[in-house]
């Protein structure tokens, strides 16, 4: 394989491994949120209702745990690739860059932090005759972001199930805030939530699953979104829609 071919392989691995690690960190962040939610439930319901919602919470915990599995990092493939690059005559600057970035990423993983996605690849492109834009980054992001999005769905389903109960509004607001913080973590995937509430229905990134009379949503204009049943997400850098938002509109 040529030097450029090896650099293409390296870049694909870097993107995948950093997104895989980001998924692991995201899952850990989601699990950390379970404890404060459990505490909210414990002190928010009367005794006769409390167990019902703690049982429902255990379902949430189980569903999050099912998604909390990320493949191990393969350190050896980078060692082998560096050897191949040497054999193919790659420059010392390129070899040093790859070795430094590899060590930095190992340090980041040890500390359970997040590593930048594109910066090391952009620096590599400046050192070599290599077109970073040729990477299928969108497909890689799409593949790795599905798990965090599914975890957010689980939290949303649980929160929605509480909305018709005797839980205090302030407590539900705290839960909503925790979910919002979880969504903010998607920024590391370059993924953001679609802003659709009170917007006019747009088939490009919304799917209407029903409509309600304007008398039930007097503050929302006709054909505009009055309720979001399932969040939609997009890749900010390219505006590619990862998933349409499922919404209800006003007739």
Of 170, 190, 210, the residue that ends a domain is 190
Residues 184 and 204 in one domain: no
> Does residue 62 have a pLDDT over 80?
yes
Rounded CA separation 146/68 (Å): 12
Strands 240-243 and 233-235, how do they pair?
antiparallel
Residues 23 and 39 in one domain: yes
Higher pLDDT, 4 or 234: 234
User: At 242, phi and psi to the nearest 5?
Assistant: -80, -40
How many domains does the chain divide into?
Answer: 2
Rounded CA separation 57/167 (Å): 14
Strands 206-212 and 245-250, how do they pair?
parallel
Of 175, 190, 205, the residue that ends a domain is 190
Q: Give the structural domain span for 13.
A: 3-190
Instruction: Give the up-direction half-sphere exposure of residue 75: CA atoms within 13 A in the CB hemisphere.
Output: 8
Residues 249 and 160 in one domain: no
Section 187-208 average pLDDT: 95
User: At 84, phi and psi to the nearest 5?
Assistant: -65, -40
Contact yes or no for 73/20 (Cβ under 8 A): yes
Q: What is the pLDDT of residues 22-57, one digit of tens each?
A: 988 898 889 899 988 888 887 777 777 777 788 888
Residues 53 and 111 in one domain: yes
Share of the chain above pLDDT 70, in %: 96
> Does residue 153 have a pLDDT over 90?
yes
- For 249, other C-beta atoms within 10 Å of its C-beta total 22
Q: What is the predicted pLDDT for the residue at 131?
A: 67
Section 215-229 average pLDDT: 95
Of 190, 206, 231, the residue that ends a domain is 190
Share of the chain above pLDDT 90, in %: 42
Q: Is the pTM of this model over 0.85?
A: yes
Residues 117 and 206 in one domain: no
Residues 139 and 35 in one domain: yes
Structural element, H or E, at residue 21: helix 3-42
> Does residue 71 have a pLDDT over 70?
no
């Amino acid at each position: 394989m040529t030097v450029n071919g090896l650099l293409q392989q390296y870049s694909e691995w870097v993107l995948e491994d950093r997104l895989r690690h980001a998924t692991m960190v995201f899952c850990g962040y989601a699990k950390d949120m379970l404890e404060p939610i459990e505490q909210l439930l414990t002190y928010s319901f009367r005794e006769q209702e409390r167990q019902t919602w703690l049982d429902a919470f255990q379902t949430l915990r189980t569903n999050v745990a099912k998604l909390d599995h990320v493949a191990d990092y393969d350190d050896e493939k980078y060692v082998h690739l560096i050897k191949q690059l040497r054999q193919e005559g790659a420059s010392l600057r390129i070899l040093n860059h790859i070795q430094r970035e590899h060590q930095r990423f190992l340090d980041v993983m040890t500390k359970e932090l997040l590593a930048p996605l594109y910066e090391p690849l952009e620096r590599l492109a400046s050192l070599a005759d290599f077109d970073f834009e040729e990477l299928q980054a969108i497909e890689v992001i799409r593949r790795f972001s599905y798990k965090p999005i599914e975890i957010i769905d689980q939290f949303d389903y649980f929160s929605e199930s509480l909305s018709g109960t005797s839980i205090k509004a302030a407590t539900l607001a705290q839960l909503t805030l925790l979910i919002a913080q979880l969504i903010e973590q998607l920024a590391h995937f370059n993924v953001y939530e679609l802003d659709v509430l009170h917007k006019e229905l747009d088939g490009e990134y919304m799917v209407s699953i029903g409509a309600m009379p304007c008398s039930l949503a007097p503050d929302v204009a006709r054909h505009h979104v009055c309720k979001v049943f399932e969040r939609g997400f997009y890749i900010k850098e390219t505006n590619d829609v990862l998933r349409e938002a499922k919404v209800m509109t006003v007739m």
